[in-house]
Amino acid sequence: MSNKVEEEEFYDRRTKTIRRRYVNRGRVANIAPINLKHDHGPNDVPTVPTKLVQSKMSALNQDLLQKLRKMFDTRPVWMRHTLLAQLEPEDLAEVLRNKAYIPAVAYVMDTGPFWKCLVRFGYDPCADPVSAKFQRVFFYANKKTVKNPITAELFDDDEDEAQDKEKSKAGWKAEQERLAEEGFRPPLDPKRTHIFDGQYLHRERADYQLCDVTDPLIAKYINEVPAYRKKCWKDGGWYPSALFKLIKALIRAKYMYMWENHAPAPDRVCWAIIEEYEKEKANRPVAFDADADDEPNEADEEDEEEDGDEDEDGDEGEGEGDEEDDEDGEEQEDEKNDDEEDDDAEGEEEEDGDGDKDADGDEIMEED
Q: Give yes or no for a contact between 72 and 105, defined as CB atoms under 8 angstroms apart.
A: yes
Q: What values do phi and psi take at 120, rounded to 5?
A: -60, 140
Print pLDDT tens along the chain (368 aa). Answer: 455 667 788 888 888 888 888 776 655 567 899 999 999 998 999 999 999 999 999 999 999 999 999 999 999 999 999 999 999 999 999 999 999 999 999 999 988 999 999 999 999 999 999 999 999 999 877 554 434 444 444 444 444 554 454 456 778 888 889 999 999 999 988 889 999 999 999 988 899 999 999 999 999 999 999 889 999 998 889 999 999 999 999 999 999 999 988 899 999 999 999 999 999 888 877 667 666 555 555 444 444 444 444 443 334 434 444 444 444 444 444 444 344 434 443 333 344 444 444 444 445 544 44
Model pLDDT, residue 300: 45
Terminal CA-CA length for the chain:
25
- Is pTM beyond 0.75? Reply is no
Write the pLDDT tens digit of every residue in 295-307.
555 444 444 444 4
Long-range contacts of 149-156 (CB under 8 A, 24+ apart): 149/249, 149/252, 149/253, 149/256, 149/273, 150/245, 150/246, 150/249, 150/273, 150/276, 150/277, 152/252
Burial group, residue 133, by CB count within 10 angstroms (0-12, 13-18, 19+): middle
